[in-house]
Amino acid sequence: MNVFADSISMDGNGSTSLTRGDRWTGAFERELGFKITNFAIGGSRMTPELDGTDQFKSVYNVVHDGSDGTKTVNYQADYTIIFSGTNDHSKNMPLGTINDIANTTFYGAYKLVVKKLLTTNVDLKLFLVTPIQKFMGHTTTDNGEGWFHNGPNGNGATLADFAQAIRNIGEYYSIPVIDLHRTSGINEFNFTLYHSADKLHPSKEGQRVMADAMKKFMS
């Protein structure tokens, strides 16, 4: 299984110091028998940097380059999970529309990633995952970015808009969507049980909740 994602799924993320074994990826390996190649990168977005620098390597570039710089993408893997979107929201990447075909918007980049994966492996079992909600609360220190809240970013797009885009892409291509944004069970009343101190990255307990919610789709 290939996993293309951000720090929420990354091995050894400094925000939480969780190991692979503590994360949903570890649960998938132990309990479902998957062998995972994890391409999750802290700060990664679906959409490449608009200035071309791609400081945090985008999912689009990893998939189209065939490498994250250290690991090579096996396009013939049986399963792939794409778990991306929260950093596109927070860093004001253009959302776009379902009709987009260029990598300059979230819709366009995501569609091109799906196309690359499914045209190189027509038997691939591909799953899309919507971003979990954030609980830091909107503050005036955001400077127009959406790091700390679910509401509108500098372009006026909410995290829910990015989650809906993923649902729309799944429907467009008839691909299963694991909708953690709506159904993770982590909410404003219980997030302190499941998130680390930054209220953005799930704790070990939150990773367990995510794993259980995601595993239902893999049987």
Which tens digit of pLDDT belongs to each residue from 81-117? 999 999 999 899 999 999 999 999 999 999 999 999 9
Q: What is the pLDDT of residue 187?
A: 86
What pTM did the predictor assign? 0.92
Output the CA angle 82-169-120, nearest 5 degrees.
60
Buried b / exposed e along 168-205 (16+ C-beta atoms within 10 A) = bbbeeeebebbbbbeebebeeeebeebbbeeebbbbee
The structure tokens listed for 141 are 């220190």
Q: What is the pLDDT of residue 74?
A: 98
- The domain limits of the chain are 2-215
- The residues near 115 (Cβ < 8 Å, ≥ 6 apart) are none
The CATH class, in words, for 2-215 is alpha beta
Owner of token pair 């990168």: 41
The structure tokens listed for 124 are 């691939």
Q: Helix, strand, or coil here: 27?
A: helix
